[in-house]
Amino acid sequence: MSSSKIVTQRKGDRVDVQVIGFVGEQTDLFQIDLRDVKHLELNLAHMNYINSVGVGGWVKWTGRFTPDMRFTLVECPHLVINQINMVVGFIPKWTEILSFYLPYACTDCNAEKSLLMKLGTDYEFASAAAPSKINLPEKVECPNCKAEMEMDVVPSKYLFFLNRSA
């Protein structure tokens, strides 16, 4: 399997990175020069797989981050949310998850669609003062057959990360 493609854009002390494809042993992601970087943002929309070696490398990489660097994640797909939920230390505590995908499926025709949920509009993390919040749409219509779609994950498991303490 070919490794990921990493598209990096540096603007002053901010670095934006797009991770495309498969994260395994060979990825340039963990080699990005983060000296003097104050804000690292990863767009993970097109990350489509991570194997156990990739998870190990990822945990080691983010484990070196310090809270003086803002670390934000956008468009986290299902597979990344699963890692965040399951792997202790996959992301540092101060990581800001600014948006993620919520998968839906059609029980009539098996079509799939993911909704992009955005922090502040669609969800809030739990805090000392309040529990986590999520605004789910009343109805998600199948793009293919117009039937009502169902959430394709178990909400209590998938949304577990919203309760992680900052």
What is the per-residue binding string for Zn ion in 53-92, x denoting contact by CB under 5 A?
Answer: ----------------------------------------
Least distance CB 140 / Zn ion (angstroms): 11
Kindly determine how many residues on this chain lie close enough to bind Zn ion according to the rule CB under 5 A: 8
First to last CA, the chain: 36
Distance separating alpha carbons of residues 92 and 88, to the nearest angstrom: 9
Pick 73 or 149: Cβ nearer Zn ion: 149
Which member of 15, 45, 142, 162 binds Zn ion (CB under 5 A)?
142
Q: What residues contact 68, with CB distance under 8 A and at least 6 apart?
A: 38
Q: State how far the Cα of 135 lies from the Cα of 125, in Å rounded to an integer.
A: 12
Q: Burial-class residue 81 by CB neighbours within 10 Å (0-12, 13-18, 19+).
A: buried
Compute the least distance from the CB of residue 150 to Zn ion, in Å: 11
Q: Specify the residue, 6 or 142, whose C-beta has the smaller distance to Zn ion.
A: 142
Instruction: Kindly list the residues in this chain that would bind Zn ion in the complex (CB under 5 A).
Output: 106, 108-109, 111, 142, 144-145, 147
